[in-house]
Amino acid sequence: MLAVVLQLSGGIGLFLLGMTLLTDSLKALAGDSLRQWLARFTGSSFKAMLSGIGFTLVVQSSTATTLATIGFVSAGVLSFSQAIGIIIGANIGTTSTGWLVAFLGLKFSIANIALPLVALGAMLKLLGRDQLALSGLALAGFALLFMGIDQLQVAMAGFAEQVNLSQWSNDGFATRLILILIGLVMTILLQSSSAAVTATLAALASQAIDLPQAMALVIGQNIGTVATAVLAAVGATTSAKRTAAVHVVFNIVTAIFALFVLMPVMLWLFQHTVLADWDHVVMLAAFHTAFSLMGALLFMPFIPQFQQLIIKLIPEKNQNNTRYLDETLFAVPALAISATEQAIRDSLADYYRMIVKALQGQVLAVMMSNRELDRVLTTVEQYLQKMPVPQAQVDQQHLTTLLRLIMYSKVLRDDFQYLEYVDVLPKYLKPEVLQPLIIHLQSMVLGLKQQPMEKMNSVDLIAWQNLVQQLKQQQPQYRQHIVENSVHAQLNAAEALDAMIAERWLERLLEHSIKIAYLLQHQDEVMS
């Protein structure tokens, strides 16, 4: 029995290791393109669901899809109703693992060629760079995954010979509840519903358990996936908590319907129709997919009501710009980098908006402070210290752009330290300069707040540069105007000095703003 347990543990370990390598490599290979794809193809709840299915199929991880969704909702790129659709889609997409195992892992074993695939993957990793190296890791992970399945099948066959599970084969409600509980615990212990379902498929293929037992275990394993989401949401952002709540409600409600409706119907069909000729393993994979499809049919028509319920139960308490910075995003580096960039962009936009209001006479700039930007920059630096270095080259380049943005933001932080000069400018700037200045600063706000977060196309860099040149050309007239006011006793010496410094301060502010606008408008060129 000890040998069976050790072989079972080893098979699960190989599967988990292979799945981790495969998922992480695919996420790194996709890089920021997955972020852009998911943000663009979620116009409706149905499209969001399809995107969730596609994203999960690509990265082979519903957890990665969930974490990506958390980041987009936090940054405002996706609405919460779209996020619900994506999560529902992720639950459907993750059932692809069952079909993969049923047809490739158990029906057509590739264990004999797995070791050469591992060797090839290792060589690509050692000798290749960037995408080739990541492809090697993905290939090795794929091979290890099926080596694990092969070990699981052998271990389950030995388990069936030594343990009699016939006492759990009756149709009693209490028995099914116990099996559901066992499936739930399996997922929590393995921290992977895919590994738990794979173990169940292997046990069914080895006849260690029968089909009704396997179905009950799968129901429990689907409920168990909420544990990971709940743990990830503890102490996390409101968006993470809401996403976890969607997981919990969706999986539990779907499990109840699966237990009382879907499972009896499919068992009856399996016994009394042409489905009787189906292989048990294929039937279980079909049940797993039907499970999630039924959940989609139950929830998709009521997404607006579901959204309002979750928002009411978990209201947003933290409205500051650093609410995007969730450590769960570290699993998808492109998202963590984008969330950090959005936090800085929003903070800068707030300051430019205040400057516009001050120039329009709506607020007094002297009452403004740069303490909020200091807080954001400090929080960002602490966040980046914890963030792992991304493997994909495109993510590394995006990180370089982010670091340059932080550097320019610190320069602007010094400019914002003297915002009181904004109150002086409207008195001396000519209307033909003041009005374009306000328009340009408003375009800066729009560019920084642009959603989905793409290149800053709203800022006309040539117009900005022309404005700076215009300021420089009008310096003599501006200063002459100040001197005349001082001579006629309309200004004292200190006020005249402040007016001159204010004009020079504005010129410096605009030059620094141009650098940020250029950086965000030419990200592809900066990263190449």
Q: Do 309 and 339 reside in the same domain of the chain?
A: no
The CA-based angle 189-5-194, given to 5 degrees, is: 40
Average pLDDT value for residue range 137-146: 78
- Residue 358 domain flag: yes
Q: How far apart are CA 402 and CA 191, in angstroms?
A: 33
DSSP state of 220: H
Could you read off the pLDDT of 41-99 as tens digits, one per residue?
Answer: 666 778 888 888 887 776 666 766 776 676 666 555 667 778 888 889 988 888 887 78
Q: DSSP string spanning 111-162?
A: HHHHHHHHHHHHHHHHH--THHHHHHHHHHHHHHHHHHHHHHHHHHHHHHHH
Q: Do 159 and 220 reside in the same domain of the chain?
A: yes
Q: Do 269 and 403 reside in the same domain of the chain?
A: no
Q: Do 343 and 282 reside in the same domain of the chain?
A: no
Q: Do 90 and 178 reside in the same domain of the chain?
A: yes
Domain count within the chain: 2
Q: Do 332 and 278 reside in the same domain of the chain?
A: no
Domain stop point among 313, 345, 373: 313
Asked if residue 232 has pLDDT above 70, the reply is: no
Asked if residue 274 has pLDDT above 80, the reply is: no
- Residue 51 domain flag: yes
Residue 372 CA: distances (Å) to CA of 265, 377, 515:
59, 9, 22
- Residue 125 domain flag: yes
Instruction: Give me the amino acid identity at 413.
Output: R
Q: Do 308 and 358 reside in the same domain of the chain?
A: no
- Residue 406: pLDDT band (50, 70, 90) is very high
Q: Do 302 and 362 reside in the same domain of the chain?
A: no
- Residue 382 belongs to a domain with what CATH number? 1.20.58
- Residue 320 domain flag: no
- Residue 528: pLDDT band (50, 70, 90) is very low
Could you read off the pLDDT of 7-41 as tens digits, one per residue?
Answer: 777 877 776 777 677 767 766 666 556 556 666 66
Q: Check residues 74 and 432 and name the one with the higher pLDDT.
A: 432
Q: How far apart are CA 39 and CA 51, in angstroms?
A: 9
Asked if residue 225 has pLDDT above 50, the reply is: yes
User: What SS3 state is found at 46?
Assistant: helix
Asked if residue 172 has pLDDT above 60, the reply is: yes
Percent of residues, the chain, with pLDDT higher than 90: 4
pTM for this structure? 0.66
Lowest mean pLDDT among 325-334, 399-408, 487-496: 487-496
Q: Average pLDDT, whole number, for the chain?
A: 78
Q: How far apart are CA 175 and CA 370, in angstroms?
A: 63
- Under a CB-based contact definition with an 8 Å cutoff, are residues 275 and 283 in contact? yes
- Residue 318 domain flag: no
- Residue 488 domain flag: yes
- Under a CB-based contact definition with an 8 Å cutoff, are residues 485 and 496 in contact? yes
- Residue 323 domain flag: no
Domain stop point among 286, 313, 340: 313
Q: Do 512 and 364 reside in the same domain of the chain?
A: yes
Lowest mean pLDDT among 299-303, 313-317, 452-456: 452-456
Q: Do 350 and 293 reside in the same domain of the chain?
A: no
Domain stop point among 290, 313, 336: 313
- Residue 106: pLDDT band (50, 70, 90) is low
Q: Specify the pLDDT at position 478.
A: 76
Other residues' Cβ atoms within 10 Å of the Cβ of residue 130: 14
Expressed as residue numbers, the domain containing 470 is: 328-527
- Burial level of 384, CB count in 10 A (0-12/13-18/19+)? middle
Of 326-330, 341-345, 403-407, which has the strongest mean pLDDT?
A: 403-407
Q: Specify the pLDDT at position 527.
A: 45
Q: Do 363 and 299 reside in the same domain of the chain?
A: no
Q: Check residues 71 and 475 and name the one with the higher pLDDT.
A: 475
Q: How far apart are the first and last CA of the chain?
A: 58
Q: Do 274 and 349 reside in the same domain of the chain?
A: no
User: What SS3 state is found at 190?
Assistant: helix
Q: Check residues 4 and 88 and name the one with the higher pLDDT.
A: 88
- Residue 319 domain flag: no
